[in-house]
Amino acid sequence: MASVPRNQILRAATYVQKGGVGKTTTTAHVGVAAARDHDLDVVLVDLAGTQNDLSTHFGIGEDIEDLDAPISAVFGDDWEFIRDNIDDIVDRMVFETDEGVDIIPADPGLGGADNNLANIPVEERFDKLDAFIEDDLADRYDLVLLDLPGAENNIALNGLFAAGNVIAPLKPGAFESEQLDNLQADLDRIRDEHPVDPQLAMVIPTMIDLRTNLAEQFVTELAEEHPETSAPAHVADSQAVSNWQERGRTLFGVPDDELSNTGTRVLESYRENTSELIPRLS
């Protein structure tokens, strides 16, 4: 069991400037693993656009259709006034799931919030989310996972500043051979150009079919060349993930007798990776 001192919250963000690699799937499964296996109070914050994939993953897509208290408010000039004058504002932002984690969903205002952040002096632009986590989430939760947009915008930079730790799912493919180098170059450049300091906590090979040479090579090279950040377990390519996603569940929410062999392997990978990840976040 992990132990987190009161009012200190572990933080990480899934971030890589590429779509379809499993950022949302990773956020969801690491979050549930942390809650179930390590008894942590976990909140997932969806900042990855306005499609609300994370909420859909947990089957609460319909519950959040007309949001009462959008997360985008945190990034605006009026946030302190709103927070000081609405007592239960954070309660209204948070949605419970039946898999042991809470979610703060994305909302349509994130696009406008990203634009408005550009009007703020750079020295104040990237700490909005950090302040929200520190002031409003740290006393409620042990772990916050941020699902970030796959683009380097002001929302993503807020997320990187707030989280500090980056989880990067990467999958093998024709154009992916340099992607880890590209990711590290992206993080280096972000550090150089902005007052944020993201550190790569874990790279997780995803959608791995070891029957292909490309995948096998990818996993091997990652482990050999980046042992300090490579996840202990790759995540297999399994149709089970998307099948159950459509039904509003992570694989943790599937009864054992209904889970396929590959689905079971995916589950075990996420559990092993989460156990390795949590100490790295302290």
Partner 1 sequence: MSQEEAEKLLQNTKEQTRTNTEPTTSDDPSSLEDAIKDAYVAIDEGDANTNITVRDTNLAALFGGLEGADELERVARDAEKALGRDAENVSQSRTLGLLARIGLQEISPETLEVAAEARDEYIVNSQDDF
Which residues of this chain interact with partner 1, rule CB under 8 A?
67, 69-70, 72-73, 76, 78, 81-82, 84-86, 89, 107-109, 111-116, 118-119
Min dist. Cβ of residue 46 to partner 1 (A):
14
Tokens at 119, concatenated: 């009007």
Nearer residue to partner 1 within complex by CB, 68 or 178? 68
Tell me the C-alpha to C-alpha distance, in Å, between residue 93 and each of 27, 40, 105, 107: 18, 20, 8, 11
Separation between Cα atoms, residue 124 and residue 120, nearest integer Å: 7
The least distance separating partner 1 from the CB of residue 128, rounded to whole angstroms, comes to 13
| CB closer to partner 1 out of 12 and 93 | 93
Q: Is 233 helix (H, G, I), strand (E, B) or coil?
A: coil
> Closest approach of Cβ 155 to partner 1, in Å?
11
For partner 1, the closer CB: 120 or 223: 120
Q: Are 76 and 100 in contact (CB under 8 A)?
A: no
Q: Residue 109 or residue 173: which is nearer to partner 1 going by CB?
A: 109
Burial of 272 (0-12, 13-18, 19+ CB in 10 A): middle
Nearer to partner 1, 49 or 59 (CB): 49
Comparing CB distances to partner 1, the nearer of 83 and 280 is 83
Supply the minimum distance, in Å, between the C-beta of residue 76 and partner 1: 6
Rounded to 5°, the CA angle 105-54-183 comes to 105
What does the alpha-carbon distance between residue 75 and residue 79 come to, in Å, rounded to a whole number?
7
Longest pairwise C-alpha distance within the chain? 59
Residue 38 to residue 54: CA distance in whole angstroms? 21
Q: Identify the CA nearest to 28 among candidates 254, 257, 216.
A: 254
Closest separation between CB of residue 70 and partner 1, Å? Answer: 4
The residue among 172, 174, 182, 161 whose CA lies nearest residue 17 is 182
Q: How far is the CB of 54 from partner 1 (least distance, A)?
A: 17
User: Minimum distance from CB of 79 to partner 1 (Å)?
Assistant: 9
Q: Please check whether residue 205 is in contact with residue 180, taking contact to mean a CB–CB distance below 8 angstroms.
A: no
- Residues 234 and 262: their CA atoms lie apart, in Å, by 12
- Which one, 73 or 208, has the nearer CB to partner 1? 73
| Tokens 């790569």, located at residue | 200
Minimum distance from residue 214 beta carbon to partner 1 (Å): 37
Report phi then psi at 12, rounded to 5: -160, 155
CB nearer to partner 1: give 108 or 195: 108
